[in-house]
Chains A and B, each alone.
Chain A
Amino acid sequence: MYNKMGQKFGLFRLLTTFFYIIAGSSALAQPLDAPSGEPILTIEGNITNTNVGDTAQFDRAMLESMGMVSFVTSTPWYSEPSEFEGVPLAELMERVGAQGTEVEVVALNDYRAQIPISDFSTFGTILALKRNGEEMPIRDKGPLFVVYPYDEESRLQNQDYYARSVWQVYKLIVQ
C-alpha cells in the first residue's frame, strides 16, 4: 500500500520535473517581461533570464500568473493549520534559469538563510503569496513566505527546515 503510494508520488514527481524542464527550456526562449506593478521579489545571482539589469524582478501579478499551488499544513508560527498558496520554488528557479545549487533567501529585516535548490523538487517547497486565501501583509509575515509541506514528512518538522522557512522574503540570491 505504502509502496504503491510511494511509486505514484515518484511518478508524479518525475512527470512534474519533466514538465519543469520543458517549461524551463521554453521559458529560456521566452524573455521575462519587466514588471508593470511594484516589484515584490528580486532574484539575482547565477541566473540566465533577467528583466531588470542583472536581476529578475517580479510583481505580484507576474508571480500569480506562473501557476499557483496550495496545501494545508500546520506550522510553528500559527497555532492552527493554515492553507498556503504560492509559486513552486522549483518552477521559479526554472523560470529565471537558475544555474546554482543553493539559494540565499533574504528577508526584509535582512534575515538570511541558505536553502539547497534540491529541496524545492524534493519537498515541493513553495514561495507563498497567500495564507488562508488572503494576501500576507508585511505585518503578518508577508509579502512572501518560504513554506515546506511540514505535515507531509516528519523530517521537515525540524529546526533545520524551520530556519529555511524565511518570511517577509523580498530577495533570492542564486549561488
Chain B
Amino acid sequence: MRLRRGVLAYPFSLAAILIFTCLLVFALWRLWNTEAALRTQAGDNMLWAIAQAQVATQQLDIALAQARLEEADADILGLRYDVLLSRLTLLEDGPQRRHLADLGHFEPIHALAEQVYAQEDAFLSADARAGGEAEALHELLAELASEIGRAANRAMVAQWDETGAQLDQQHSAILQVIATVMIILAIGAFISWRMLAAFDAEQRAQMSLLREQEIREAYRSFVALVSHQFRTPLSVIDASMQRILRKGETIQPAEISERARRVRATVKSLTDLMQATLDSMKLDAGQIDINRAECDITAELETARERQLEARPGRTVRIDTGDEVPARITTDPILFQQIIGNLLANALTYSPQTEPVTIRVRAGNNQLRIAVVDRGIGIPEEEKQMLFQPFFRASTTKEVHGVGMGLHLSRRLAHMLGGDLTFESKRGFGSTFTLELPL
C-alpha cells in the first residue's frame, strides 16, 4: 500500500501540475480573446459612417431646394456637394466598402454615387437649372438617401445580431474562465496538499531514522552494561574455582564449603541479574501484559508485607491508611505486588534492623499515593538523578548484594499502570518512595 502510493504519487502530482498550467494558459487565452473582441467595434463606426452619408445627402438636398428659392448661394451648394462626396468616398473605400458588400448594399449605393459624381456640374449650378432638371437631381438624392437609409437599417440589424452573438460568446467565455479558475483552485489545493503530505512524510522518515539510531544506541549501551554486570560475578566464580584447583589435595573441607557458598551466592546474583534483564527486555518489547482487576488495597498491601516479613522475621512494617482512601482500586495486582514488594525490600534492606518501615496510604485528586517510609541510610544527594537508571546502585549500598534493576523496573511498571514513582531522601535519615496510581 505504501509502495503503491509512493509510485503513483509522482505521476499524479506531475499530471496535476501539467493540468494546472494548461488550464491557467487556457483561462488567460480566453480572457485575452474576450478583451480583444471587446476592443473591436467595427459595427459602431460603420453605422456612424452610413448615418453621416445620409445626413450629407439630405443637407445637399436642402441646399438644392434653397438654391432654387434663391435663399442660398453657390458656395453652400458646393460645400454640401463636397461634403457628400467625402462621405461617399469614405463608404466606397477600405473596411466600409467590405462591410457594405457584406450587407449586400454596396452595388446599389455605388451605382447611385456614380450618378452623383457624373452630375457634378448640374449640382454646382443647380440654382440656374430649370425646374425639371432640378427635380431630377432631387429625385436622385432622395433615392440615394433612402438607399443609404436601407443600408443603415441593415447595418443596424447586423450589428444587433453581431452584438448578440458577441455577448453570447463573451458570456460563454466568462463562464469557461470561471469554471477553469475553479478547477485551477481545486488542482492548486490538491498540489499544495500533495506537497505538504510529501513534506510531512519526509519529516516523519527523518524522525523515524533518528529514533532508530537512538534505539540502536540504547541497545548497544545496554548490551555493554549487561556484559559488564555479568563479567564481575563470572570472574568471582572463576577465581574460586582456580583456587580450589590450585590447592588440589591440600585444600581444607572448610575452605571448599566456604568457596562453594560464595560461588552459590554469586550464581544466585547472576540468576537475579538474568531475571531482571529478561524483565527489562520484556518491558522493552512490550511483552508484559497489563491485566487490570478490582483489588482490595488493604489486602494487597497486607500480602506484600507478609511476603517480606517471611524472609525477615523480627522486622516491623506498619500500614497507615488514611480515612479518605477507598477500599478498592482497579489495577494489575501482579505488577502492583512487584512494585510494592521491591520498595518494601529496599526499605528493609537499607535500614537498620531496629527501625520499622511504614507504608503510608493516602488519596486525593483522583490519585492513590502509597509511600514506603524507612529510616535507613538514605541516598547521597549527587546520586539521586541516577537512581532509576538500570544497574545503578548507590555508593552507600556496596556491602549489600544487589543488581541495580529493582527501582528501574518498578518505575517503568508504575508508568505502565498510568502512575509514577518518586522519592525523597536524606542521607543518614532515610528515604520515602511514593507510588502514585490513578483512582
Contact = CB atoms under 8 A, between A and B. Distances in A.
B41 interface: yes
Interface residues of A, number: 11
Interface in B83-100: 83, 85-87, 89, 94
Given A139-B89, A140-B89, A159-B41, A109 B82 contact: no
Tell me whether chain B's interface is mostly helix, strand or loop, or mixed: helix
Interface string A138-174: 1111000000000000000001000000001000000
B86 A140 contact: yes
Nearest to B117: A139
Contacts of B52: 109, 111
B94 to A, nearest CB: 6
A141 B83 CA distance: 8
Given A139-B89, A140-B89, A159-B41, A108 B83 contact: yes
Contacts of B83: 108-109, 138, 168
A124 B87 CA distance: 28
Given A79-B94, A109-B56, A139 B79 contact: no
B297 interface: no
Interface in B347-376: none
A139 B82 CA distance: 5
B51 to A, nearest CB: 10
A146 B94 CA distance: 21
Contacts of A159: 41
A contact patch SS: loop
A59 to B, nearest CB: 15
A26 B350 CA distance: 122
Contact of A139 (B41, B59, B86, B94): B86
A137 interface: yes
Contacts of A79: 94
Contacts of B79: 108, 138
Contacts of A141: 86
A159 B41 CA distance: 9
A138 B41 CA distance: 27
A168 B94 CA distance: 19
A115 to B, nearest CB: 18
Residue in B52, B83, B89 with the greatest tally of chain A CB atoms within 10 Å: B83
B114 to A, nearest CB: 15
Contacts of B94: 79
B93 to A, nearest CB: 8
A138 B56 CA distance: 13
B55 interface: yes
Nearest to B86: A139
A109 B79 CA distance: 10
B44 to A, nearest CB: 9
Contacts of A111: 52
Interface of B: 41, 52, 55-56, 59, 79, 82-83, 85-87, 89, 94
Interface of A: 79, 108-109, 111, 137-141, 159, 168
Q: Closest 6 A-B residue pairs measured CB to CB?
A: A138-B82, A139-B85, A139-B86, A139-B82, A108-B83, A109-B83
25 contacts: A79-B94, A108-B79, A108-B82, A108-B83, A109-B52, A109-B55, A109-B56, A109-B59, A109-B87, A111-B52, A137-B82, A138-B79, A138-B82, A138-B83, A138-B85, A138-B86, A139-B82, A139-B85, A139-B86, A139-B89, A140-B86, A140-B89, A159-B41, A168-B83, A168-B86
Given A159-B41, A168-B86, 16 more contacts: A108-B79, A108-B82, A109-B55, A109-B56, A109-B83, A137-B82, A138-B79, A138-B82, A138-B83, A138-B85, A138-B86, A139-B82, A139-B85, A139-B89, A141-B86, A168-B83
